[in-house]
Structure 1
């Protein structure tokens, strides 16, 4: 469709028109208004990862990465919602039954139903195998779900919850509708960053799920759904971090070109140029790492998992450094409540924690280094 932009320049124009000018308000209000969510559906962004026959845009992974980069440049909260929705959409498309796909994919593609990813618990974050939520199979094939999930992005508005719980055969994935009896959603406010992503804590108390709620075989989720879906999420976050880097670069370059001391413009100060040089180098390298990960995904190359770990590690740490420099460059103005630099700074720190913390990534990447040397 003509109003569905599917290239970097079109994505950038749409973000500049629809998202970036309102990002400070999203952060301040700690929510994304309905008109923005609907517009994302009109643009085809909710269904970007889904095939055209389901109503999706059918983007390849490189193009998807460009979309998430540009959205991340405009607002990390919006990009976070897009990330988890894409994760749920991918899971249903990849592992859903014919009935699940027919029921949910068109609604997910339009953004009529927003998806949320319910994995993290009070004592289960990076250690996914430590999940305590349970789903007990009943004689009639149904399940009774009990447990609590924390830090659920989009949980305040999601209509479809992808929930991971322990079953007798391991960890399984379930598609749970928000209005299922026993589901309790509690909004989470005043987080450090991505404040507009509408986080929630979600409790499940004696929730009865029909056999059709199970996504994939019983006990199937840990080695497949979790790994595959988190890889999509990690890729999105990495690309979003490239967007933060780009935003920091543009803000810093504009400010220093326009401002100065009594004797010389800020752009002539060597230490200012050092910070901008580092950001230019980092955004270029991070973008290339993300592109490599996307190309490997498009080829279904198993090396994409490690390539995505590397891209996310580099991009998130670089974004945190660039955002710190952006605040420093802007001085006191960069610390003001509605200044973009302080929002980049807060959002970038979150990126070092979600979808695999910096420390977990270091462990994974170091393991790969030992495998390389052992070949």
Structure 2
């Protein structure tokens, strides 16, 4: 890792995160990918390390981490297993939303349960016909006395198969609004989605709300702020996690490639001595460091409360995810036939990397938003 400007505490914490990933994630990542599920044991391990809801203040069971420290954690989770990183990100997006926008009663009821791993949370925004255009959400919420009736369908929801609590976005009187919905609520059903390209342990599901009744007190924030405030701030956190996770993925590719190139001999010498392989390794190293520095910059921007912090996160997510795709493709190339076998970690990285260009805003959406940012920045 090349980040010489980390504080002593941050560097020590990074060492702890790396050791955790090597112990708890790296040995199981291929199994999670193959079985398309993560284990309850690793969730308990994450909770025991205070890695769930890590940004949440300690009074609510979180670790009270700063953004840089959280980024370092996310990088190592991503280096070890992207499905686990995704689980932590989704759990954190819901915890963050409750902490920032929820009532005191909602905080008291849910935050300690989420950070302890007793309640698993999922973020339910995407629908069968609604992806990047989140404003087009079709799920409806209708007030009926002291209750809200939900009707509609959500799709591609990470960890819907095991979540106990869903943060659901629906239109209430035409206004985008967020609600907390418990899994055992009558009218809520979950259908597993399997056979994904990457992040195969993310246990996606399709959620149907068929006259699903919840207490009106389950509303998060106010009617009308579901998209512009609740979802936007949560998605910003998700993009930040995806950016750092992409760095972790690129780092995993770099480590696997240098190790393999150093022992694989062809034409009388290790392939690490072949100049074209050296070129691939040089680009992989340079790109990984570049992405890491962009992520660190985004973290500093967040910690300092800069107005452009959201755009700095967009920059990091855009570049880091595209770098992860290239690093993974080059890692498979360096491994040759060994890289396309089911037992090779780099083929899993290759599949996971492509997903990183899609989740939390596709590459093309990122380019559009950053193009607008560039036009504004040029006029300053």
Corresponding residue for 1:100?
106
Deviations 1:306-330 (A, max 9, x none): 0010000000000000000000000
Find out whether 1:180 has 2:164 as its counterpart. no
Whether the 8 Å contact between 1:47 and 1:111 is mirrored in structure 2 is: no
The change in CA–CA distance for 1:195 and 1:6 in structure 2 (over 3 A counts) is farther
Corresponding residue to 1:369 among 348, 367, 374: 374
Whether the 8 Å contact between 1:126 and 1:356 is mirrored in structure 2 is: yes
| In 1, Cα distance between equivalents of 2:304 and 2:216 | 34
| In 2, Cα distance between equivalents of 1:10 and 1:78 | 17
Corresponding residue for 1:82?
88
Whether the 8 Å contact between 2:68 and 2:299 is mirrored in structure 1 is: yes
Instruction: Give the match's secondary structure for 1:126.
Output: coil
| In 1, Cα distance between equivalents of 2:365 and 2:325 | 17
Corresponding residue to 2:349 among 333, 344, 353: 344
- Figure out how many residues of one structure are paired with residues of the other and give that number: 370
Corresponding residue to 2:56 among 44, 50, 53: 50
Corresponding residue to 2:161 among 152, 156, 161: 156
Find out whether 1:144 has 2:149 as its counterpart. yes
Q: Where in structure 1 do 4 or more consecutive aligned residues deviate above 2 Å? A: none
Deviation at 1:258, TM superposition (A): 0.8
| In 1, Cα distance between equivalents of 2:55 and 2:162 | 20
Corresponding residue for 2:21?
15
**1:221-240 matched pairs, under 5 angstroms:** 221-240=226-245
| In 2, Cα distance between equivalents of 1:242 and 1:94 | 27
Find out whether 1:327 has 2:338 as its counterpart. no
Deviations 1:298-357 (A, max 9, x none): 122221100010000000000000000000000111101121010000000000001000
Gaps of 5+ in 1: none
Corresponding residue to 1:123 among 106, 114, 129: 129
Whether the 8 Å contact between 2:53 and 2:96 is mirrored in structure 1 is: no
Deviation at 1:141, TM superposition (A): 3.5
| In 2, Cα distance between equivalents of 1:31 and 1:260 | 36
Whether the 8 Å contact between 2:78 and 2:249 is mirrored in structure 1 is: yes
Corresponding residue to 1:37 among 39, 43, 53: 43
State the TM-score, normalizing by the size of structure 2: 0.96
Corresponding residue for 2:5?
none
Bigger mean CA offset, 249-258 vs 47-56: 47-56
| In 2, Cα distance between equivalents of 1:231 and 1:262 | 49
State the TM-score, normalizing by the size of structure 1: 0.97
| In 2, Cα distance between equivalents of 1:159 and 1:297 | 30
Instruction: Give the match's secondary structure for 2:28.
Output: helix
Corresponding residue to 1:211 among 212, 216, 223: 216
Instruction: Give the match's secondary structure for 1:21.
Output: coil
Whether the 8 Å contact between 2:192 and 2:203 is mirrored in structure 1 is: yes
Deviation at 1:292, TM superposition (A): 1.1
Corresponding residue for 1:167?
172
| In 2, Cα distance between equivalents of 1:315 and 1:88 | 24
Deviations 1:228-258 (A, max 9, x none): 1100000000000000010000000000011
| In 2, Cα distance between equivalents of 1:232 and 1:373 | 26
Whether the 8 Å contact between 1:152 and 1:201 is mirrored in structure 2 is: yes
Corresponding residue to 2:119 among 98, 109, 113: 113
Corresponding residue for 2:207?
202
**1:222-371 matched pairs, under 5 angstroms:** 222-371=227-376
| In 2, Cα distance between equivalents of 1:169 and 1:24 | 44
Deviation at 1:263, TM superposition (A): 2.4
Bigger mean CA offset, 5-14 vs 248-257: 5-14
| In 2, Cα distance between equivalents of 1:371 and 1:144 | 42
| In 1, Cα distance between equivalents of 2:333 and 2:270 | 16
